[in-house]
Amino acid sequence: MKNQIEQLGKKYNINPVSMDICKQEEKLGFLVAKQDLVISLLPYVLHPLVAKACITNKVNMVTASYITPALKELEKSVEDAGITIIGELGLDPGLDHMLAMETIDKAKEVGATIESYISYCGGLPAPEHSNNPLRYKFSWSPVGVLMNVMQSATYLLDGKVVNVAGGISFLDAVTSMDFFPGLNLEGYPNRDSTKYAEIYGISSAHTLLRGTLRYKGLEC
């Protein structure tokens, strides 16, 4: 591992540091203090530790992960420190938010009313490389990928809130997706979609679902 880290450092002109931030918070703070911006790509449960170091040292931070309650609790401290911490800046969540708002705003500009919003997003390997039992390649936390499959979800369908229990029963919510000819895809609801009615400004919608897209077989 050490040799691999050193090789990557030379290849991309970076200074790699190996540490356990749960046990070396002082060292983390020292590293953060020297930066203009911190990009946290650690497992989501560790973002609050990084955020606290950024607050202490007044350094801005971005992350691709969802804003969790633990991060939300730091909002007042972030404001008091005069810094900016932005989450959900990845593919999903991230680019999907931007595309959603672009489309919604354009619709509103011509006087349209949003009655339904359904979005599925997924990072898929090329079909010829989906060559393992999961038919998926890990480009982020393997634990996060597998947890995402088994967590509970909530969405709005025809004016009714639908709650999907986590665990094995979550597999009952998987839907076959046939909109790409030649690709055998399926989708499942992603977390709590209902909160985006306010965030996206589409409280008029009777259906609101954000979902994850995968090759068929991941949920088996």
pLDDT per position as a tens digit, 152-188: 999 999 999 999 998 877 778 889 988 887 888 999 9
Residue 132 included in any domain: yes
Q: Provide φ and ψ at 203, rounded to 5°.
A: -65, -15
> Rounded distance, CA 22 to CA 163, Å?
35
> What CATH number is attached to the domain comprising 14?
3.40.50.720
Whether residues 12 and 104 fall in one domain: no
Residue 220 included in any domain: no
* Catalytic positions: 92
Q: How many separate domains does the chain show?
A: 2
Closest CA to 108 of 182, 36, 205: 205
Whether residues 52 and 102 fall in one domain: no
pLDDT per position as a tens digit, 111-141: 999 999 999 999 899 999 999 988 999 888 8
Whether residues 122 and 196 fall in one domain: yes
> Rounded distance, CA 147 to CA 152, Å?
10
Q: pTM for this one?
A: 0.84
